[in-house]
């Protein structure tokens, strides 16, 4: 690519583009500090892992989860209560 075409490309960068690049840089720096950048790179380099993630994200099960997310969040919130956990544990003990 010639120097003139590179300069032309640079002239097309908007302030919004610069802001996005700055945010991405800050995110990458945080991921690096947490040690997650290497983990993410390893995941992206593993074709089997990427295939498994892609299959899961595009599955009917995932679609159902997304469609029913409000109900699932309510259910998890209910199950997270100590009283609900105690009651369910007592019921399951009696059934077993």
CA angle at 92 for the pair 91 and 95, rounded to the nearest 5°: 90
d(CA 96, CA 85): 16
Radius of gyration of the chain (CA): 24
Q: For the chain, give the mean pLDDT.
A: 92
| Residue-level pLDDT at 22 | 96
Tens of pLDDT, residue by residue over 16-33, are: 999 999 999 999 999 999
* Those residues with Cβ within 8 angstroms of residue 62's Cβ, 6 or more apart along the chain or in another chain: 56
Q: Is the dihedral angle over the CA atoms 94, 71, 73, 78 positive or is it negative? A: negative
Instruction: Provide mean pLDDT across the span 67-82.
Output: 94
User: Using 50, 70 and 90 to split pLDDT, how confident is the model at 71?
Assistant: very high
Asked whether the beta carbons of 50 and 58 are under 8 A apart, the reply is no
Report pLDDT for 2. 81
């Amino acid at each position: 690519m010639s120097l003139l075409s590179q300069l032309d490309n640079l002239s097309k960068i908007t302030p919004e583009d610069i802001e996005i690049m700055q945010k991405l840089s800050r995110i990458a720096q945080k991921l690096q500090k947490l040690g997650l950048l290497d983990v993410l790179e390893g995941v992206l380099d593993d074709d089997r892992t990427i295939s498994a993630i892609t299959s899961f994200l595009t599955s009917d099960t995932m679609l159902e989860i997304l469609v029913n997310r409000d109900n699932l969040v309510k259910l998890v919130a209910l199950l997270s209560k100590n009283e609900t956990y105690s009651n369910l544990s007592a019921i399951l003990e009696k059934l077993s």
